[in-house]
């Protein structure tokens, strides 16, 4: 899949730069040289950003659950809660994503918003979905990189479509010849399809991100209202992209940003001090009433 994606990007880059706008740099017309230089620089930067964010999404661990993790105040309570769970599935309010949850397949407690990924065979923090395009699970630590990949790929395919549209029309009219003309034809068709598909994906993910909701959570039939993680558009956006405006566009996290992200999943409320569920917590009391 990595070879296919990088191959499509390389194919498109060839059609736009070496086949179409690169030769215009030697045209002798100053206006043409300046215009094509802008296109070459813009498209080269876009391709670098697409490949960078793609490879980082592929290679970043989305975030697993630390061994022995549990949401309770001590190990003994974790054992007691596990025994209780074994005889009643309705001990906790199942609509509440903040309830203590146990993964039967991993045989371990999992934090709120974590889900078991059947492809990678482990629980993933704030799991969004398993993506075949990035052959990786998209979760807490690579969701930003995945969104940046969608964003840059959308910009790239849209740019390619409009930059090559006039060449495509010339090709269809039989006025464009040469060995590179099939590259232009295929690139325009391919990128038109990607442009539409990526626009749909981007709108969908923007809606979910603005509500601080993952794809899995969005498709859950029964959810509590109001959604406890929705803290307003700005904070929901910063939860994924961080607070530094410069780094919003770059596919990496600083050590501090990564620590805060892990903290927000492993300790409720994003605080560095643990606020684990204790025997007196309201969550357990409300759940006990249902037993």
Give the interface with Zn ion as residue ranges (CB under 5 A). Answer: 103, 105-106, 116, 123
Contacts 24+ apart (CB under 8 A), 24-32: none
Cα angle 160, 138, 48; round to 5: 30
Q: Which is nearer to Zn ion, 121 or 269 (CB)?
A: 121
Q: Which of 17, 20, 10 is nearest to 170 (CA)?
A: 20
d(CA 260, CA 258) in angstroms, rounded, equals: 5
Q: How far is the CB of 115 from Zn ion (least distance, A)?
A: 8
Q: How far is the CB of 103 from Zn ion (least distance, A)?
A: 3
Q: How far is the CB of 44 from Zn ion (least distance, A)?
A: 42
d(CA 291, CA 285) in angstroms, rounded, equals: 10
Q: Which of 176, 154, 179, 155 is nearest to 165 (CA)?
A: 176
Q: Which is nearer to Zn ion, 119 or 204 (CB)?
A: 119
Q: Which is nearer to Zn ion, 129 or 247 (CB)?
A: 129
Contact 161, 191 (CB under 8 A): yes
What number of other Cβ atoms are within 10 A of residue 260's Cβ? 16
- 8 burial type by CB count under 10 A (0-12 exposed, 13-18 middle, 19+ buried): middle
Q: Which is nearer to Zn ion, 62 or 242 (CB)?
A: 62
Contact 63, 262 (CB under 8 A): yes
Q: How far is the CB of 69 from Zn ion (least distance, A)?
A: 12
The single residue of 103, 117, 123, 131 carrying the catalytic annotation is 131
Annotated catalytic, 131?
yes
Which residues are part of the catalytic machinery?
A: 131
């Amino acid at each position: 899949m990595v070879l296919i994606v990088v191959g499509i990007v390389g194919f498109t880059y060839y059609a736009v730069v070496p086949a179409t706008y690169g030769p215009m740099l030697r045209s002798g017309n100053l206006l043409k040289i300046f215009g094509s230089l802008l296109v070459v620089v813009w498209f080269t930067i876009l391709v670098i950003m697409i490949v960078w964010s793609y490879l980082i999404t592929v290679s970043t661990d989305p975030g697993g659950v630390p061994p022995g993790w549990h949401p309770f105040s001590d190990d003994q309570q974790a054992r007691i809660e596990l025994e209780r769970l074994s005889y009643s599935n309705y001990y906790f309010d199942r609509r509440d994503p903040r309830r203590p949850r146990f993964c039967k397949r991993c045989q371990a407690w999992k934090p709120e918003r974590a889900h078991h990924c059947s492809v990678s065979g482990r629980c993933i923090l704030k799991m969004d979905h398993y993506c075949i395009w990035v052959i990786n699970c998209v979760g807490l630590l690579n969701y930003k990189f995945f969104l940046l990949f969608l964003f840059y790929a959308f910009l790239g395919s849209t740019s390619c479509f409009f930059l090559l549209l006039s060449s495509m029309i010339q090709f269809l009219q039989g006025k464009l010849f040469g060995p590179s003309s099939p590259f232009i034809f295929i690139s325009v068709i391919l990128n038109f399809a990607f442009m539409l598909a990526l626009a749909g994906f981007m709108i969908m993910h923007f809606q979910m991100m603005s509500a601080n909701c993952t794809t899995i959570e969005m498709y859950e039939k029964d959810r509590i209202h109001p959604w406890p993680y929705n803290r307003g558009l700005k904070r929901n956006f910063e939860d994924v992209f961080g607070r530094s405006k410069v780094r919003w566009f770059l596919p990496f996290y600083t050590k501090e940003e990564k620590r805060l992200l892990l903290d927000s999943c492993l300790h409720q409320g994003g605080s560095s001090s643990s606020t684990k569920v204790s025997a007196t917590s309201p969550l357990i009391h409300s759940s006990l009433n249902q037993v």
